[in-house]
Amino acid sequence: MAKEAKAVEKTEVAPQPTVEKKQAVKPKQTEPEWEIKDRTYYLIGKRNPLTHIIPSKHSRRYPLLWFDEKAGKQRELRYATNQSSPLVDEQKGESTMAHIIFKEGTLFVPKQKQNLQKLLSLYHPMKGRIYSEFDKVSNAKDEIVEIEMQIEALNAAREMNVDQGEAILRVELGSKVTEMSSKEIKRDLLIFAKNNPNLFIELATDENVQLRNVAIVATETNIIKLSGDNRTFTWASNNRKLMTVPFDENPYSAMAAFFKTDEGIEVLRSIEKKLQ
């Protein structure tokens, strides 16, 4: 038998479009724009001498170098009044050297002295360690935060009861608080909140401050007694021992910690009832 030839059907496949893989383009690093303006610099910290000189040229004792990442090398710095750049390798001809002097903690550099401004703002290794540049925007933000903190502290002081206020003022004024009237406590509390809002809020939210004050007031009103060596608290009524103060620890801080224990909570409740 003759084999029947099977017809093979060929299916034509349409050519698929090739998809080109696009390589991610890395964004070019752009240098921050340099603004032509007057600039003021100030010494950091408590430095406020009549005059303070910072290095204006490279030396073995005071290296004045800037690392150029693009070139991969150190570049020497120098302040010369007759040069347009603070980078030595960009200076041409003879250079007229000058000192960089802060007077009473500040240095004002007009916009005409671009070489000095760039040295101080962009390159000088002492920026951020010895001095900083005055920034109106940054300073305004800091002032807003400070004002908001002050408002928060004053509101808290206004709503605070006398006992809480006494506890906070005792940290600052000590036993003098005992002799103050409630109006004097309220007044000094508001002044404290206004002048030192951060510390005020910290003390107001610290329960140990309140507990420590309870221990002090209880001792002053002869509800409890502290031994002469500051090592033992007892009930004043029957001399029954309450606690032993750990070595080298403030007795009232130790009592505040004791008030948080199971036994101490009962003692605290008893003291608070007697103080009412």
Q: What phi-psi label fits residue 65: left (phi over 0), alpha (psi between -120 and 50 degrees) or beta?
A: beta
Q: What is the pTM of this model?
A: 0.45
Give the mean pLDDT per block of 10 residues along the chain (276 residues): 50 54 53 82 85 93 93 95 95 94 94 96 93 81 83 91 86 82 92 89 85 89 91 92 89 90 91 88
DSSP letter string over 86-150?
A: SBGGG--S---B--EEEETTEEEE-TT-HHHHHIIIII-TTBTTTEEE--HHHHHHHHHHHHHHH
- Cβ proximity of 105 and 44 under 8 Å: no
Q: What phi-psi label fits residue 151: left (phi over 0), alpha (psi between -120 and 50 degrees) or beta?
A: alpha
- Residue 172 pLDDT: 79
List, in sequence order, the alpha helices (H) in 178-261.
Answer: 182-195, 197-204, 207-220, 251-258
